[in-house]
Chains A and B, each alone.
Chain A
Amino acid sequence: MIKVEHLVKKFGLRTAVNDVSFRVEKGTVLGFLGPNGAGKTTTIRMIAGYLPPTSGAVEVNGIDVVADPVAAQKQIGYMPENTPLYDEMTVEAFLNFLAEIRGFAGADRRRQADAIIDKCMLSSVRHQPIETLSKGYRRRTCLAQTLIHDPAVLLLDEPTEGLDPNQKQVVREMIERMAQNKIIVLSTHVLEEVEAICSRVMIISEGRLQVDSRPGDLKKRAGGYNTLTIEVVAPAAEALQAFAEIPDVAEVVSLSSGSEKQVLRLVPKDRQSLAVRAIEVASARRWLVTELRSDPGRLDDVFRQITITDDVGRKTA
């Protein structure tokens, strides 16, 4: 378990992380979202025992990271931002080095390094110097490094940043495969990623935790959530009126209006689902519904709502 309590980090006068508290349980993939400079990296570095907090406490599996970073780090696999690696080493030499650091000696060390090379699909590049690797292989090598001692906690700082869509997919699949029985904290500003692999999402902005929720719940906060778009064969005026009479509908907007077909947008009063009532209304009047779309909510809308309001709030304050 990760326990973070009232974590604060100041760099001179700038407060990079401002009173952040949260807990993460085993089996969770936590997506750490936020715009650039929000404080994601700084928070993760404090959990990893690299930066000391200005105040507050961090515990990993019951070990106080500030008091005993060495013991805590044995529980953690950490992939820093921008994939720093010893460029002149080969993949194999690098992973052997890390296996040795992580406490494997002799034949054990080689076995462990080989197992990780297999698991992370690095066999084809094992003798290559790291500086000659493509970005995708480089990222996988760094990911392999985090796994070598089978840690309970993985901290991944922007694991898919700068990869092409195929490479991203590979890295994501690897993360998903590792997710059981571990805690994974990954930072990103790619929202689709959070939807794809995270079971929990936190949004941080200007060093403060703004949202802590499940990706599905978060989407419901989107402005357009459950807005219904309906295409129906019906007379224009009657359709407008009939749908507006549904109790949960706040507003009906005509998107296009032909002599036969109407395209309408139904905005719910309070994010309720409107599909069932809309179909009832249409079938009662024997109107043919040719298309029906409910807005599932978009994370980037929520993200923008949260992180921009915050900006504006500061300006007016």
Chain B
Amino acid sequence: MDMLSHGRAIAKREWSAYFNSPVAYIFIVIFLVLAGFFTFSVSGFYEVGQADLRSFFFWHPWLYLILVPAVAMRLWAEERRQGTIELLFTTSVTPAQAIAGKMAAAWAFLGLALLLTFPIPLTAGWLGRPDWGVIVSGYVASFLLAGAYLAVGMFTSALTRNQVISFILAVVLGLFLILAGFQPVTDLLSQWAPGWLVDGVAAFSFMPHYEAMQRGVLDARDFVYFASVTGFMLFLTHLVLGNRTGR
């Protein structure tokens, strides 16, 4: 009962906090401009002549690497800097409820930004006959990826009252999660590390799962992977908040 009503109240508050400040608009504009720039200019969407969104989704892990921590950094750091965390956790809100509400709001916000890229698939549909199943699966993968990054950023935000520190920590952690399974890096590592180690580290990475889903392969294991990373990071967040407030 409280879980729902408290979660919803907090989600609503966070959502309007994004839109009451220029942050939301700046974020959406930057995200759309960069997504378009990389897709059309860097990857040469038109020149390749393929009506698919590979070149569009290819860049998302890198865009999110910077942009998602920027969205997540204030979630807890700001509560701690302003001292409102004390207010929040003395009004019968539990850490789990607050985490759920904040996660929902921020993830929905990222989802909105992602939906606003709709002109890109429309362009692809206008240029040729894309496989819409692959495109939908790509969007699902991107949304899950955004959620995983967000959970990382939520965790680092809970660690500090300083948004900048939270941002940097989240980027570093995110970079690890990309690079551990990024092919150029795994190729390089396998030259001097045993194969099982490289594979073991790579298993933590976003990339193999994200790439598989992008190709249109919806495998339960990839969903489980994203759910575990996100869940684990939220669990760590709960641990940190519990330590602060003694729950």
Contact = CB atoms under 8 A, between A and B. Distances in A.
B90 A86 contact: no
A85 B83 CA distance: 8
B86 interface: yes
A36 to B, nearest CB: 18
A84 B84 contact: yes
Contacts of B2: 70
Given A50-B245, A70-B2, A97-B13, A145 B83 contact: no
B84 A70 contact: no
* Interface bin, chain B: 20 to 34
A49 interface: yes
A50 B10 CA distance: 19
A50 B82 contact: no
Contacts of A84: 82-84, 86-87
A131 to B, nearest CB: 10
A93 interface: yes
Interface in A56-107: 69-71, 73-74, 76, 78, 80, 82, 84-89, 93, 97-98, 100-103, 105
Given A80-B87, A100-B9, A101-B92, A86 B82 contact: yes
Contacts of A48: 90
B5 A88 contact: no
B16 interface: yes
B93 interface: yes
A34 interface: no
Interface of A: 45, 48-52, 69-71, 73-74, 76, 78, 80, 82, 84-89, 93, 97-98, 100-103, 105, 145
Given A51-B246, A78-B90, A85-B82, 4 more contacts: A50-B90, A84-B84, A84-B86, A100-B8
Contacts of A89: 13, 17, 20
Nearest to A70: B92
B129 interface: no
A50 B89 CA distance: 7
B20 A88 contact: yes
A50 B86 contact: yes
B156 to A, nearest CB: 22
Contacts of B8: 100
A52 B247 CA distance: 8
Contacts of B92: 69-71, 73-74, 101-102
Contacts of B6: 101
Interface string B87-123: 1011111100000000000000000000000000000
B191 interface: no
B87 A52 contact: no
Given A84-B83, A93-B16, A101 B90 contact: no
23 contacts: A45-B86, A48-B90, A51-B245, A52-B246, A52-B247, A69-B92, A70-B2, A73-B91, A78-B87, A78-B90, A80-B86, A80-B87, A82-B83, A84-B82, A88-B17, A100-B5, A100-B12, A101-B5, A101-B10, A101-B93, A102-B92, A105-B5, A145-B87
Of the candidates B17, B91, B93, the one having the most CB atoms from chain A within 10 angstroms of its own CB is B91
Shortest Cβ-Cβ A-B pairs, 5 listed: A84-B83, A52-B246, A73-B92, A100-B9, A80-B86
A298 B8 CA distance: 52
B206 to A, nearest CB: 32
A84 B88 CA distance: 10
Of the candidates A49, A73, A101, the one having the most CB atoms from chain B within 10 angstroms of its own CB is A101
A84 B90 CA distance: 12
Interface string B1-36: 010011011101100110011000000000000000
A84 B82 CA distance: 6
A232 B91 CA distance: 62
A245 B10 CA distance: 75
A141 B158 CA distance: 27
Contact of A98 (B17, B82, B91): B91
Contacts of B16: 93
Nearest to A145: B87
A91 to B, nearest CB: 14
Given A88-B21, A101-B6, A101-B9, A73 B87 contact: no
Contacts of A88: 17, 20-21
Contacts of A76: 90
B20 A69 contact: no
